[in-house]
């Protein structure tokens, strides 16, 4: 099948690629563009490992068609740190050991950032529901929730 | 919370026990860490597996000619390409029997479950590979199938394997295991109270988020390189070698970062197939399982059907215990009998025990290890019965346990005589915890009932083979290499230990995981052994390095090496008699390494021993919504003897993660089959693992009672936390509702049905 030309922006940089009309944004990121920081845990929208934002909206990239990236602004885990400076969420995840195997971590971080953009001062329950789309099998979520709340507190102070 | 009972060596620790940043952390929060599916190679093609659509069928023939003719297809393999291990002779690799592994990787005489691999294709892309699989013609003779244990052990059940015999007859019971102590019937004769109950659990999946994946490159010189994620690169090498006939020396297995395993990645599915596809096609081959393939065709853990009978005196003394554990093996023998048979009664000093396990095959995917393999099944039954005995005797369930704990010198039915038992301490930690004492509002609002439950658990823990190399770089820093994939922070622990021993800043230590060509043989990451074993070999390596450093300083100072001390990362003269010299730092000595004798570094390869068992006691509060049948965990506290927490955060993490897996096991996870023997819920939507909003914070109470047989006092941690939750939650639900469940999961439909009966 003929491929479609897609012009998009990923982490603030212009990107062009060719996509099969039926292929997912996740597939384009990982296999066409080499951005393997976004993970695939299920391919069916049930685990959140593939979380990215499209025009600021949190999505499962396995459920978005690659061609839908046309003209959009995509943000992935690779763009979360500013150079050497980690995002407060990334830093808190390290300091508070909020990851074990780390396969869920990129998706959890992207979801958490999207959550804090909407709600800078979430309760524990709000964090738990905000991250309910991101499966983590290793941590039992305890340290993830704490790290997100700590990061939120720090981000509120620095604003 | 930390309860440190041995202050001696802990107080002056600078790095051990600190919550340092893990060495592999930055790459994991920025998306740079490379997991199995992240690898690519120039010229790489894609492999896909054709799987049986039948639960049980004889394979009469396979015709791959149409698939091979499809443009873009580069290679096809079937069972005839895999090394056959004839049924007559057992060939063991660790606990895995290659007779079963070769048939698990590719169906041979029969397809034994829906999803069983029957052929594989490599093609220029995944779409062509999938299309080619559809062109393979398999002539099946469909056979009657059997799924559940109770059906599989009936006399008229379809028999999976002609070779399996039980009591002289063809059977789906492929083996048994017994642990015995005293005379159990005589024991029951002494009992005032006897409780006997039957329990059922369903197979559940390990649920790692990273599907199995690998890239394999077989070169023209007959050498192969494997990139894959596993719980043991040496297992990958050995098993792939056995299944393909390529000698181990010609295979280099490179461990990718692993995205969860929990035991399931102690065996392989794809690597030998990909190697053979690469060999036939002359191209590197990448294979990645879909989630559906993971659920259908990689091992879940066993379901179980168990009867446990325990007898007690009126004063609460346990006098006899009997367990019959029917454990699902999946389609090929090898269920984790050792878990329930050995662990169920091990925490207790019971004079008369008879524990028998039955390995039951049926038309399901072959089980794989899952965290404390089999032990939660036995504990679920035993700890539920103990709860009932406490109720009948009117005793506090923790007091009943305290009265009967195994102690130093107690002989367990599975054979061991315990050296140092720390079970009592875990019970006391829960009994004295604010959680256990806190009042519970049993009916906080209409339609809601609350209850509290406790349970304990045991796991053997393990030592075994490990290798490490500690090298001092030319600029005076430290690189440590071990042979163990890091599933949850073991590099962080090793960095702490190394920094402590060498007396250098944590930031100067790098910890790497070697591939099979760069580090000595190391057994699997599993059984709660890695931190225990690798800290031991790293300690011995570091001690050798310190010996070298002292020698180098002695040479420079022209004094006896005995007269040199290593302290805070510096060599110093041992005392005024040794001479007056300014200290030499690691960097000083590294800079002068060539002139003083060459590179500085040492390695140790060892079969480690001294892994004392793990004990855990948990308390949980639940809330049952009687209109919806939903059980929610409100509060959870888990106490465990961890020996010494080299990195407390990752120790807590093991406990918290294990508990939440146990919550899923108790409340929502199960494999569901249709009448044709097809798994109905092969995905994360319908196979319901706990999500963030399902669970509360999990309080981990780490009891640090040093293991006297380990240089830092480490005790394995990872397995024990999944052992108590099943019974603890079931006991709490009983406390809430006054009715007891004898099967898991306690899912809403089951809870509602029970409430309707009442
Ligand atoms: S991979 Fe997209 S939700 Fe799981
Ligand atoms: S850290 Fe392993 S799945 Fe979350």
CATH code: domain of residue A116 = 1.10.150.120
Do B709 and B579 reside in the same domain of the chain? Answer: no
Residue among A100, A134, A142 minimizing CB distance to B489: A100
Digit-by-digit pLDDT tens for chain A (159 residues) are 699 999 999 999 999 999 999 999 999 999 999 999 999 999 999 999 999 999 999 999 999 999 999 999 999 999 999 998 999 999 999 999 999 999 999 999 999 999 999 999 999 999 999 999 999 999 999 999 999 999 999 999 986
B378 belongs to a structural domain? no
Do A104 and A38 reside in the same domain of the chain? Answer: no
Residue among B21, B260, B660 minimizing CB distance to A140: B660
Nearest-by-CA chain A residue for B257 = A101
pLDDT at B7: 37
Which tokens hold the place of A123?
């309760």
Please state the separation of Cα B19 from the chain's center in Å. 24
Give the separation between CA B227 and CA B211, rounded to whole angstroms.
14
Residue-number span of the structural domain to which A122 is assigned: 88-157
Do A70 and A93 reside in the same domain of the chain? Answer: no
Structural domains of chain B, count: 2
B53 in contact with A, Cβ within 8 Å: no
pLDDT at A95: 98
Give the separation between CA B328 and CA B119, rounded to whole angstroms.
26
* CB pairs A-B closer than 8 Å: 185
For residue B161, CA distances in Å to B164, B171, B555, B702 come to 6, 8, 69, 46
Do B623 and B701 reside in the same domain of the chain? Answer: yes
Do A74 and A94 reside in the same domain of the chain? Answer: no
pLDDT at B2: 43
Do A13 and A68 reside in the same domain of the chain? Answer: yes
Mutate to test the pocket of ligand 1, among A24, A27, A43, A106 (most ligand atoms within 8 A of CB): A43
CATH no. for residue B624? 3.30.365.10
Q: Which residues of B touch A105 (CB under 8 A)?
A: 28-29
Give the separation between CA B673 and CA B412, rounded to whole angstroms.
38
Do A16 and A71 reside in the same domain of the chain? Answer: yes
Give the separation between CA B175 and CA B357, rounded to whole angstroms.
8
Give the separation between CA B5 and CA B602, rounded to whole angstroms.
33
Could you tell me if A57 and A65 are in contact, meaning their C-beta atoms sit under 8 angstroms apart? no
Do B716 and B595 reside in the same domain of the chain? Answer: no
Q: Which residues of B touch A81 (CB under 8 A)?
A: 30
Give the helix, strand, coil percentages of chain B, each rounded to 5.
30, 25, 40
Q: How far is the CA of A73 from the centre of ligand 2 (A)?
A: 27
Sheet holding B509-513: strands in order across? B509-513, B478-482, B464-472, B601-608
> Residue B442's CB: how many other CB atoms inside 10 A?
13
pLDDT at B527: 85
Q: Are strands B318-330 and B304-312 parallel, antiparallel or unpaired?
A: antiparallel
Is the CB of A102 less than 8 angstroms away from the CB of B652?
no
Nearest-by-CA chain A residue for B721 = A140
Q: Are strands B478-482 and B509-513 parallel, antiparallel or unpaired?
A: parallel
A18, A45, A79: which is the final residue of a domain? Answer: A79
Could you tell me if B60 and B140 are in contact, meaning their C-beta atoms sit under 8 angstroms apart? yes
Q: How many CA atoms lie within 13 A of A140 on its CB side?
A: 28
State how far residue B660 is from chain A, nearest Cα, in angstroms.
Answer: 5
Nearest-by-CA chain B residue for A100 = B488
For residue B654, the ligand closest to its alpha carbon is: 2
Widest pairwise Cα distance in chain B: 88
Residue with tokens 């006991």: B731
B276 belongs to a structural domain? no
Is the CB of A100 less than 8 angstroms away from the CB of B695?
no
Which tokens hold the place of B432?
């004295």
A24, A50, A79: which is the final residue of a domain? Answer: A79
Do B740 and B619 reside in the same domain of the chain? Answer: yes
pLDDT at B33: 98
Do B604 and B618 reside in the same domain of the chain? Answer: no
> Is residue B3 over pLDDT 80?
no
DSSP string, B96-130: EEHHHHHHHHS--SEE-STT-EEEEEEESSHHHHH
User: Which atom of ligand 1 is nearest to B684's Cα?
Assistant: 4
B258 belongs to a structural domain? no
pLDDT tens for B376-401 read 999 999 999 999 999 999 999 999 99
State yes or no: ipTM above 0.90: yes
Residue with tokens 């038992």: B421
CB distance A28 to ligand 2 below 6 Å: no
A126 in contact with B, Cβ within 8 Å: no
pLDDT at B10: 64
> Is residue B5 over pLDDT 60?
no
Structural domains of chain A, count: 2
Is the CB of B291 less than 8 angstroms away from the CB of A44?
yes
Substitution target in B636, B692, B718 with the highest count of A β-carbons within 10 Å is B692
State how far residue B262 is from chain A, nearest Cα, in angstroms.
Answer: 9
CB distance A79 to ligand 1 below 6 Å: no
Do B573 and B617 reside in the same domain of the chain? Answer: no
Give the separation between CA B362 and CA B172, rounded to whole angstroms.
7
Could you tell me if B117 and B289 are in contact, meaning their C-beta atoms sit under 8 angstroms apart? no
Q: Is B421 left (phi over 0), alpha (psi -120 to 50) or beta?
A: beta
> Is residue B144 over pLDDT 60?
yes
Burial class (CB in 10 A: 0-12, 13-18, 19+), B594: exposed
Q: How far is the CA of B641 from the centre of ligand 1 (A)?
A: 37
Q: Which residues of A touch B35 (CB under 8 A)?
A: 36, 39, 103
> Is residue B599 over pLDDT 60?
yes
B630 belongs to a structural domain? yes
B592 belongs to a structural domain? yes
Q: Which residues of B touch A100 (CB under 8 A)?
A: 260, 487-489, 650, 653-654, 657
Chain B stretch 458-487, residues whose beta carbon is closer than 8 A to a beta carbon of chain A: 487
Q: Are strands A57-60 and B614-625 parallel, antiparallel or unpaired?
A: unpaired
Which tokens hold the place of B385?
């019965």
Is the CB of B698 less than 8 angstroms away from the CB of A134?
no
Q: How far is the CA of B629 from the centre of ligand 2 (A)?
A: 29
> Is residue B263 over pLDDT 80?
yes
3-state secondary structure at position B384: helix
pLDDT at B645: 97
Which tokens hold the place of A81?
């740190």
Q: Which residues of A touch B657 (CB under 8 A)?
A: 100, 137-140
Residue with tokens 């006897």: B194
pLDDT at B9: 53
Compute the average pLDDT of residues B317-328. 98
For residue A126, CA distances in Å to A110, A118, B123 come to 16, 11, 46
Kindly report whether the peptide bond that precedes residue B135 is cis, defined as omega within 30 degrees of 0. Answer: no
Query: Would you tell me the crossing angle of helices A105-118 and A142-158 to the nearest 10 degrees?
Result: 40
Do B586 and B707 reside in the same domain of the chain? Answer: no
Do B714 and B678 reside in the same domain of the chain? Answer: yes
pLDDT at B487: 93
CATH no. for residue A11? 3.10.20.30
State how far residue A134 is from chain B, nearest Cα, in angstroms.
Answer: 7
Residue-number span of the structural domain to which B444 is assigned: 1-10+419-456+612-758
Compute the average pLDDT of residues B255-267. 97
Residue among B28, B208, B691 minimizing CB distance to A105: B28
Is the CB of B684 less than 8 angstroms away from the CB of A109?
no
Read off φ and ψ for residue B389, nearest 5 degrees: -65, -45
Do B473 and B442 reside in the same domain of the chain? Answer: no
Give the separation between CA A107 and CA A135, rounded to whole angstroms.
9
pLDDT at A1: 66
State how far residue A159 is from chain B, nearest Cα, in angstroms.
Answer: 23
Q: Are strands B73-78 and B304-312 parallel, antiparallel or unpaired?
A: unpaired
Q: Which residues of B touch A48 (CB under 8 A)?
A: none
B163 belongs to a structural domain? no
Do A106 and A51 reside in the same domain of the chain? Answer: no
Chain A stretch 8-47, residues whose beta carbon is closer than 8 A to a beta carbon of chain B: 30, 34-44, 46-47
Is the CB of B689 less than 8 angstroms away from the CB of A135?
yes
B580, B608, B636: which is the final residue of a domain? Answer: B608
Q: How far is the CA of B115 from the centre of ligand 1 (A)?
A: 22
B608, B639, B661: which is the final residue of a domain? Answer: B608
Percentage, residues of chain B above pLDDT 70: 99
pLDDT at B1: 40
DSSP string, A7-58: EEEETTEEEEEEE-TT-BHHHIIIIIS--TTS--S-SSSSS-TTEEEETTEE
The per-residue pLDDT of chain B, averaged, comes to: 96
Do A98 and A139 reside in the same domain of the chain? Answer: yes
CB distance A112 to ligand 2 below 6 Å: no
Do A67 and A102 reside in the same domain of the chain? Answer: no
Among B606, B638, B179, B614, smallest CA distance to B418 is for B614
B713 belongs to a structural domain? yes
Confidence of residue B51 (pLDDT cuts 50, 70, 90): very high
Residue B69, C-beta contacts closer than 8 angstroms, at least 6 positions apart: none
Do B566 and B626 reside in the same domain of the chain? Answer: no
Q: Are strands A13-19 and A51-54 parallel, antiparallel or unpaired?
A: unpaired
Read off φ and ψ for residue A89, nearest 5 degrees: -65, -45
Do A73 and A128 reside in the same domain of the chain? Answer: no
Nearest-by-CA chain A residue for B491 = A100
State how far residue B647 is from chain A, nearest Cα, in angstroms.
Answer: 10
Among B581, B579, B580, B599, smallest CA distance to B589 is for B599
pLDDT at B419: 87
Is the CB of A41 less than 8 angstroms away from the CB of B210?
yes
B356 belongs to a structural domain? no
Q: How far is the CA of B694 from the centre of ligand 2 (A)?
A: 16
Give the separation between CA B451 and CA B456, rounded to whole angstroms.
17
Confidence of residue B578 (pLDDT cuts 50, 70, 90): confident
Q: How far is the CA of B631 from the centre of ligand 2 (A)?
A: 24
Give the separation between CA B316 and CA B386, rounded to whole angstroms.
10
B608, B637, B656: which is the final residue of a domain? Answer: B608
Do B632 and B594 reside in the same domain of the chain? Answer: no
Do B592 and B640 reside in the same domain of the chain? Answer: no
Is the CB of A143 less than 8 angstroms away from the CB of B649?
yes
Nearest-by-CA chain A residue for B230 = A101
pLDDT at A118: 97
DSSP string, B543-556: HHHHHHHHHHHHHH
Could you tell me if B399 and B391 are in contact, meaning their C-beta atoms sit under 8 angstroms apart? no
Q: How far is the CA of A134 from the centre of ligand 1 (A)?
A: 9
Do A55 and A99 reside in the same domain of the chain? Answer: no
Q: Which residues of B touch A106 (CB under 8 A)?
A: 29, 31
Q: Which residues of A touch B28 (CB under 8 A)?
A: 99, 102, 105
């Amino acid at each position: 099948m003929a491929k479609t030309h897609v012009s998009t922006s990923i982490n603030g940089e212009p990107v062009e690629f060719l996509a099969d009309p039926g292929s997912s944004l996740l597939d384009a990121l990982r296999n066409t563009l080499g951005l393997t920081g976004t993970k695939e845990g299920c391919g069916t929208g049930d685990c959140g490992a593939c979380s990215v934002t499209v025009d600021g909206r949190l999505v499962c990239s396995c459920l978005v068609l690659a061609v839908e990236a046309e003209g959009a602004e995509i943000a992935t885990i690779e763009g979360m740190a500013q150079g050497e400076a980690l995002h407060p969420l990334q830093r808190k995840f390290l300091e508070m050991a909020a990851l074990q195997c780390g396969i869920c971590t990129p998706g959890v971080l992207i979801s958490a950032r999207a959550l804090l953009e909407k709600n800078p001062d979430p309760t524990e329950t709000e964090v738990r529901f905000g991250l309910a789309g991101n499966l983590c099998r290793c941590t039992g979520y305890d340290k993830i929730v704490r790290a997100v709340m700590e990061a939120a507190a720090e981000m509120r102070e620095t604003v | 919370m930390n309860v440190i009972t041995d202050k001696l060596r802990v107080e002056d620790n600078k790095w051990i026990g600190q919550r340092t940043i893990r060495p592999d952390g930055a790459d994991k929060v920025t998306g740079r860490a490379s997991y199995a599916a992240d690898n690519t190679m120039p010229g790489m093609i894609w492999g896909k597996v054709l799987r049986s659509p039948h639960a049980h069928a004889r394979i009469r023939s396979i015709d791959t000619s149409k698939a091979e003719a499809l443009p873009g297809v580069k290679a096809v393999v079937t069972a005839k390409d895999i090394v056959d291990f004839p049924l007559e002779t057992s060939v063991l690799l660790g606990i895995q029997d290659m007779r079963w592994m070769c048939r698990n990787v590719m169906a041979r005489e029969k397809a034994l479950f829906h999803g069983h691999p029957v052929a594989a294709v490599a093609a220029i892309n995944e779409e062509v590979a999938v299309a080619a699989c559809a062109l393979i013609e398999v002539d099946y003779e469909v056979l009657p199938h059997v799924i559940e244990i109770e059906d599989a052990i009936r006399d008229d059940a379809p028999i999976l394997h002609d070779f399996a015999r039980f009591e002289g007859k063809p059977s789906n019971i492929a083996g048994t295991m017994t642990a015995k102590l005293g005379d159990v019937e005589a024991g029951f004769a002494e009992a005032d109270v006897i409780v006997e109950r039957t329990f059922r659990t369903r197979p559940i999946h390990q649920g790692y988020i990273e599907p199995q994946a690998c890239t394999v490159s077989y070169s023209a010189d007959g050498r192969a390189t494997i990139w894959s994620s596993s719980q043991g690169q040496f297992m990958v090498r050995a098993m792939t070698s056995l299944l393909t006939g390529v000698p181990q020396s010609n295979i280099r297995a490179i461990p990718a970062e692993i995205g969860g395993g929990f035991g399931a990645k102690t065996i392989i599915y794809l690597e030998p197939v990909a190697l053979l596809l690469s060999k036939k096609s002359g191209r590197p081959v990448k294979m990645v399982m879909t989630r559906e393939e993971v659920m259908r065709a990689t091992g879940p853990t066993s379901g179980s059907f168990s009867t446990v009978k325990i007898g007690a005196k009126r004063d609460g003394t346990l006098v006899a215990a009997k367990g019959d554990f029917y454990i699902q093996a999946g389609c090929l023998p090898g269920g984790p009998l050792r878990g329930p048979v050995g662990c169920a009664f091990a925490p207790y000093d019971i004079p008369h025990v008879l524990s028998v396990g039955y390995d039951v095959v049926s038309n399901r995917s072959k089980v794989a290890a899952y965290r404390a393999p089999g032990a939660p099944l036995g504990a679920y039954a035993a700890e539920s019965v103990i709860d009932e005995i406490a109720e009948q005797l009117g005793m506090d369930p923790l007091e009943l346990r305290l009265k009967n704990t195994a102690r130093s010198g107690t002989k367990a039915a599975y054979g061991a005589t315990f050296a140092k038992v720390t079970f009592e301490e875990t019970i006391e930690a829960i009994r004295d915890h604010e959680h256990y004492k806190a009042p519970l509002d049993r009916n906080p609002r209409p339609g809601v009932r609350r209850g509290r439950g406790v349970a304990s658990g045991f796991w053997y823990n393990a030592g075994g083979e490990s290798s490490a190399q500690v090298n001092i770089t030319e600029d005076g820093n430290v690189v440590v290499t071990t042979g163990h994939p890091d599933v949850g922070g073991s590099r962080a622990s090793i960095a702490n230990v190394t920094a402590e021993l060498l007396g250098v800043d944590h930031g100067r230590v790098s910890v790497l995981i070697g591939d099979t060509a760069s580090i000595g043989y190391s057994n699997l990451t599993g059984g709660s052994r890695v931190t225990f074993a690798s800290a031991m070999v790293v300690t011995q390596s570091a001690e050798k390095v310190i010996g070298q450093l002292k020698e180098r300083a002695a040479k420079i100072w022209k004094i006896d090496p005995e007269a040199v001390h290593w302290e805070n990362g510096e060599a110093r003269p041992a005392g005024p008699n040794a001479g007056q010299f300014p200290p030499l730092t690691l960097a000083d000595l590294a800079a002068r390494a060539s002139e003083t004798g060459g590179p500085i570094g040492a390695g140790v390869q060892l079969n480690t021993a001294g892994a004392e068992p793990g004990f855990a006691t948990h308390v949980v509060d639940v809330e049952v919504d009687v209109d919806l049948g939903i059980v929610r965990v409100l509060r959870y506290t888990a106490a465990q003897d961890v020996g010494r927490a080299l990195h407390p955060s990752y120790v807590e993490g093991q406990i918290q993660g294990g508990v939440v897996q146990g919550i899923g096991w108790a409340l929502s996870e199960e494999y569901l089959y249709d009448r044709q023997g097809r798994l109905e819920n092969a995905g994360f939507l319908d196979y319901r693992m706990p999500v963030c909003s399902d669970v509360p914070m999990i309080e981990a109470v780490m009891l640090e009672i040093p293991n006297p047989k380990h240089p830092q006092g480490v005790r394995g941690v990872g397995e024990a936390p999944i052992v108590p939750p099943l019974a603890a939650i079931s006991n709490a639900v009983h406390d809430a509702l006054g009715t007891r469940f004898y099967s898991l999961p306690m899912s809403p439909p089951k809870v509602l049905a029970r409430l309707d009966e009442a």
